[in-house]
Amino acid sequence: MPDTTPDPILPIPSDLHQTTNEAADSLHDVHRQIGQLQRRYRELLAEPDALRTDSLGRPIAPAEAVNCALMWLESTDRALSAAEDGIRHASAYTTRLSLTEQACDERDQRIADREIAANRRRDIRRVR
């Protein structure tokens, strides 16, 4: 039986680069939000008498709960810093990519072939 799997349609590198930049922007926004959360929890820590904890789980003092939250937010902050660095380094390379002229022509042909095949399937369904 012949292989009928269509050849892949390559993504356009500049589109991928744009998506990489959008992901970097999203990471930056989340990183900024984590920083804001850290500042706000530190404000709570400065007023421990204004806080209480629930009675679910093991007993914990409000200051301890805030410190634990801060510890995990700081861990998240470090991970996001590393992710931002990583995507910035990746972007330095993604911006350098483009398809060859031959690859562009093949991509265009594959898109056209798939459109023709889709139209044929539509026509067959209409006849039935």
Q: Report, in angstroms and rounded to the nearest whole number, the Rg of the chain calculated over CA atoms.
A: 26
pLDDT at position 68: 97
pLDDT at position 47: 93
Q: How many CB atoms lie within 10 A of CB 107?
A: 17
CB–CB of 13/116 below 8 Å? no
pLDDT tens track for 63-80: 999 999 999 999 999 999
pLDDT tens track for 80-95: 999 999 999 999 999 9
Q: How many CB atoms lie within 10 A of CB 66?
A: 19
**CA–CA distance, 54 with 62 (Å, rounded to integer):** 9
CB–CB of 70/38 below 8 Å? yes
Element (H, E) at 108: helix 101-127
- Which tokens hold the place of 83? 């992710």
pLDDT tens track for 2-45: 666 778 999 999 999 999 999 999 999 999 999 999 999 999 99
